[in-house]
Structure 1
């Protein structure tokens, strides 16, 4: 029996592994409470921070009617686009990813929390 033939039944029996990579939107909503002080995801309205509605695929520093720091504007002009990789890096350490950002959040260190947060935010992506 081939290795591949062994993997198929395992994938059928344990679909949780696939869910772990995609994240849990309900758990992500709980993580978002840390972000929700300054951001919204459900609507395209800015608060203290820019709306995260449709954040995936957005160029950094470009959400309309938000006053971004010069550092965030420069990052966008330099080509920073929010995808899972760049946003994960930013959330791990915002001030390291975009030096001079005015976001005061210290970051999320737990990758599972970030993955769940992404699952939540993707519900509000266009």
Structure 2
């Protein structure tokens, strides 16, 4: 049992303490919620893309702009910058926000869970 929990503890420990007080969302809770996303997304600073793009540095970035990933035309032409508001709308229902996106995920229905994931994604940048 403990061995199965170690990756979760390591993920939570990697969230900066200063970011844990991010308004509107809890990055520690978001890191746990994000575990489902890791099936398709890598978040290592210099990690490779997976089924989906690597999400290191996604907060504040232009959608579809990370080199080396084959994004859908719908996403690259959407003209989105990943602000908290844009991430919230996209994570609620990806195909509703960007019809034609390759992301085959129904979305995160719970608004607080989305805020938590967005707070976590905001920690994925150089300090």
TM-score, with length taken from structure 2:
0.76
SS of the residue 2:90 aligns to:
helix
Q: In structure 2, list runs of 5 or more residues that go unmatched.
A: 1-20
- Aligned mates of 2:124, 2:89 — CA distance in 1: 20
Structure 1 stretches (4+) deviating beyond 3 angstroms?
19-22
Which residue does 2:95 correspond to in 1?
A: 95
- Aligned mates of 1:118, 1:73 — CA distance in 2: 21
Q: CA RMSD for the aligned pairs? A: 1.5
Which residue does 1:32 correspond to in 2?
A: 34
Q: Deviations over 1:43-101 (max 9, x none)?
A: 342111011100011111111100001111111xxx21101000100001100110100
- Aligned mates of 1:49, 1:120 — CA distance in 2: 18
Cα drift, residue 21 of structure 1: 3.3
TM-score, with length taken from structure 1:
0.77
- Aligned mates of 1:115, 1:43 — CA distance in 2: 22
